[in-house]
Amino acid sequence: MENYVPNIFFAIILIAGIGYFVMNVRKLIRNIKLGKDIDRNDRKPERWKNMAKIALGQYKMVRRPVSGILHVVVYVGFIIINIEMLEIVVDGLFGTHRVFQKPLGNGIYGFLIGTFEILALLVFVSVIIFWFRRNVEKIKRFWSKEMTGWPKNDGNIILYFEMVLMSLFLVMNATDVGFQEAGVGNVVSQFIAPWFEGFSHDQLHVIEKTAWWVHIVGILIFLNYLYYSKHLHILLAFPNTYFANLNPKGQFTNVASVTKEVKMMMDPDADPYAMPAEGEDEGEPEKFGASDVTDLNWVQLMNAYTCTECGRCTSSCPANLTGKELSPRAIMMKTRDRVEEVGNIIDVNKGEFKPDGKQLLDDYITREELWACTSCNACVEECPIGIDPLSIIMEMRRYLVMEESAAPQELNMMMTNIENNGAPWQYSQMDRLNWKDE
């Protein structure tokens, strides 16, 4: 029975790790579904292409070559290396050792492990460079005011995780005496093995098994850490790019009931009492625009959870560059924080949301931020995974204008002029085309 204790223990931590991950995924889906429904199932071939090109192909990342190429190395390396998890799981459950080596043969197995080792080294070097850029070079977009406290620490914690996991993988191979003696796939670990000269066979076995156990536990911890980290985009980048807005940038959504009213005003033959056609709104929405996260749609909430906090949006925002309060990255981070707060309230109240006297508007995102936006779409264009901060800003602006009549004075004046004079300027109806003579 004692021989099976490690296998039982492995099964317990594997089930616990995966079970906790599944629980958090269900919570994540629940929180995203707090948003209003929106249909993003049209133009499916284009959506699949978008996902393949942006999420899988990383084509927007390499627009900034240094960080982009390093990110591709880490992304590809980390994903491919974790294929080795299949062997670790089988070995852990059944007490075997390198179970795939014999059936695959030394040629194929050696090629796979050799590839994993090279990628592990490349990932390690890339992560070191990322750490240097973030903490020594101190690139400006990583040191803005929203990147303090947890967001700042989170970026470094992930880098340390990856350094440790790659090191453990190489040490595990370097101290595996049989693997080193066979000379199959040890293209990197053979240069680490001499560091352990002088250790007995038993000591090397202890180091190898320790590295093996810490490696698998570390991966399970990393898996469950994702929910609390900006690195949740590892999972969400794929659905986020698939369900992204495919309409031309600058094309804003209209409220159907308002559009209908405008059309009736412009068409003297329209019947104001006509029944709406099938599929049309039957009346005004419950609320115009958004003041809290439950007023946003589920794609916008998924955007918030997918944000990588890379700061490319903010570093390209003309409002931010000229010293305005707005940071598109902060808009996404604050939205995510509010969704999490609402989700936690629901958990405490056993599935029911009880108002807490707070909302996204004012308590998280200020009006100054919203009106600083020029709606230029630079943030949307720059985002490497198709996040749309502008859509959230515009929905919150819509609420301010249509629900609170709280637009800036200049905008209110323009709208009053359009209503009264049919033009944005303070001319009479008869003189409203005078601007062309000036």
pLDDT digits (tens, 9 = 90+) for 133-151: 999 999 888 888 898 889 9
φ/ψ of residue 330, rounded to 5: -65, -35
Q: What is the spatial distance between Cα 374 and Cα 344, in angstroms, rounded to a whole number? A: 34
pLDDT reading at 432 higher than 70: no
In Å, how far from its chain's centre is CA 210?
33
**Domain match, 348 and 265 both:** yes
Residue that finishes a domain, picked among 217, 242, 267: 242
Q: What is the spatial distance between Cα 163 and Cα 135, in angstroms, rounded to a whole number? A: 15
Strand partners, 361: 365
Q: What is the arithmetic mean of pLDDT over 327-337?
A: 96
**Domain match, 13 and 155 both:** yes
DSSP 196: G
What's the length of the chain? 438
Here the tokens at position 202 are 């038993």
How confident is residue 15, by pLDDT bands cut at 50, 70 and 90? very high
φ/ψ of residue 369, rounded to 5: -60, -45
Higher-confidence residue of 278 and 16: namely 16
| % the chain with pLDDT above 70 | 94
DSSP 365: B
**Domain match, 289 and 380 both:** yes
In this structure, is the dihedral angle defined by the CA atoms of residues 337, 342, 343 and 347, taken in order, positive or negative? positive
**Domain match, 232 and 264 both:** no
pTM of the model: 0.87
Q: Which residues contact 301 (CB under 8 A, 6 or more apart)?
A: 31, 32, 34, 35, 293, 335, 339
Query: Domain for residue 47, yes or no?
Result: no
The angle that helices 328-348 and 298-306 make with each other, rounded to 10 degrees, is 110
Here the tokens at position 419 are 């209503």
pLDDT of residue 381: 93
Here the tokens at position 354 are 């009880």
**Domain match, 260 and 237 both:** no
**Domain match, 135 and 22 both:** yes
Intra-chain end-to-end CA distance of the chain, in Å: 95
**Domain match, 195 and 270 both:** no
- Domain total of the chain: 2
State which amino acid sits at residue 200: S
Q: What is the arithmetic mean of pLDDT over 43-70?
A: 89
SS3 category, 297: strand
List, for residues 229-265, the tens digit of each pLDDT value. Answer: 999 998 999 999 999 999 888 888 877 777 777 777 7
In Å, how far from its chain's centre is CA 431?
52
* Residue 301 near residue 293 (C-beta atoms within 8 A): yes
**Domain match, 212 and 272 both:** no
The H or E element containing residue 368 is helix 367-372
Here the tokens at position 350 are 């056993």
SS3 category, 36: strand
35 exposure class (CB count in 10 Å sphere: 0-12, 13-18, 19+): buried
List, for residues 72-86, the tens digit of each pLDDT value. Answer: 888 888 788 878 888
How confident is residue 279, by pLDDT bands cut at 50, 70 and 90? very low
Q: What is the arithmetic mean of pLDDT over 429-436?
A: 70
- Among the residue ranges 81-95, 114-128, 275-289, 415-429, the one predicted with the least confidence is 275-289
Q: Which residue has the tokens 């990588």?
A: 308
pLDDT of residue 278: 46
Query: Domain for residue 331, yes or no?
Result: yes
Most confident by average pLDDT, 250-254, 302-306, 415-419, 431-435: 302-306
Q: Which of 68, 105, 292 is nearest to 184 (CA)?
A: 105
pLDDT of residue 272: 63
Q: Which residue has the tokens 């204790």?
A: 5
* Residue 162 near residue 78 (C-beta atoms within 8 A): yes
Query: Domain for residue 353, yes or no?
Result: yes
**Domain match, 130 and 215 both:** yes
pLDDT reading at 14 higher than 50: yes
pLDDT of residue 425: 77
Q: Which of 427, 407, 408, 404 is nearest to 417 (CA)?
A: 427
Q: What residues make up the domain containing 202?
A: 2-32+64-242
**Domain match, 165 and 89 both:** yes
Q: What is the spatial distance between Cα 181 and Cα 274, in angstroms, rounded to a whole number? A: 85
pLDDT reading at 323 higher than 70: yes
Q: What is the spatial distance between Cα 404 and Cα 288, in angstroms, rounded to a whole number? A: 10
List, for residues 229-238, the tens digit of each pLDDT value. Answer: 999 998 999 9
Query: Domain for residue 306, yes or no?
Result: yes
**Domain match, 231 and 108 both:** yes
DSSP 143: S
In this structure, is the dihedral angle defined by the CA atoms of residues 189, 195, 201 and 204, taken in order, positive or negative? negative
Q: Which of 418, 396, 390 is nearest to 252 (CA)?
A: 390
pLDDT reading at 66 higher than 90: no
List, for residues 187-196, the tens digit of each pLDDT value. Answer: 999 999 999 9
pLDDT of residue 341: 95
Higher-confidence residue of 95 and 167: namely 167
pLDDT of residue 366: 94
**Domain match, 262 and 235 both:** no
pLDDT of residue 384: 92
Here the tokens at position 311 are 């700061």
